[in-house]
Amino acid sequence: MPEPLSAERIRSALPMVAPFRVDDDVDGSALVADFLAPDWRTAIELVRVVAAAAELADHHPDIDVRWRTVRFRVTTHSVGAVTDLDVSLAAQIVDAARRLGVRPAGDRS
Ligand SMILES: C[C@H](O)[C@H](O)[C@H]1CNC2=NC(N)=NC(=O)C2=N1
């Protein structure tokens, strides 16, 4: 069973998985990030690539698609907390987005 990460461990991991942030909602603690794709087709392609990686890792994000915006929420449901599995999945999502030219939402650089 994966171990919940301490707040300190999560804080130190966040720069490696920017733009993910900590979100404590009614369903528990999670890492959340919003991405804005250039078009809907690319948004769906990002979901497809992340879904394949999630299957390989047997660790699955919550995904919310609204036209070109995709929100990923990663948490370890069986533990009810953020674990190393979530940091690893968040890193894969960031990498997939970068390769597909999908920017973090709100990124104007
Ligand atoms: C048996 C299998 O490993 C588990 O059901 C996995 C599948 N994917 C999962 N994904 C996430 N995010 N949390 C889990 O607890 C989880 N459990």
Range 3-25 average pLDDT: 95
Return the C-alpha torsion angle 69, 50, 14, 24, nearest 10.
70
Q: For ligand 1, pick from 3, 59, 86 the residue to mutate: most ligand atoms within 8 Å of CB.
A: 59
CB 70 within 8 A of CB 46: yes
- pLDDT score recorded for residue 76: 97
Residue in 49, 88, 46 with CA at minimum distance from that of residue 71: 46
33 confidence band (pLDDT: 50, 70, 90): very high
Pick the CATH number of 7-104 from 3.40.640.10, 3.40.50.2300, 3.90.550.10, 3.30.1360.20: 3.30.1360.20
| Closest atom of ligand 1 relative to the 62 alpha carbon | 12
Q: What is the pTM of this model?
A: 0.96
Q: Of residues 25 and 101, which shows the higher confidence score?
A: 101
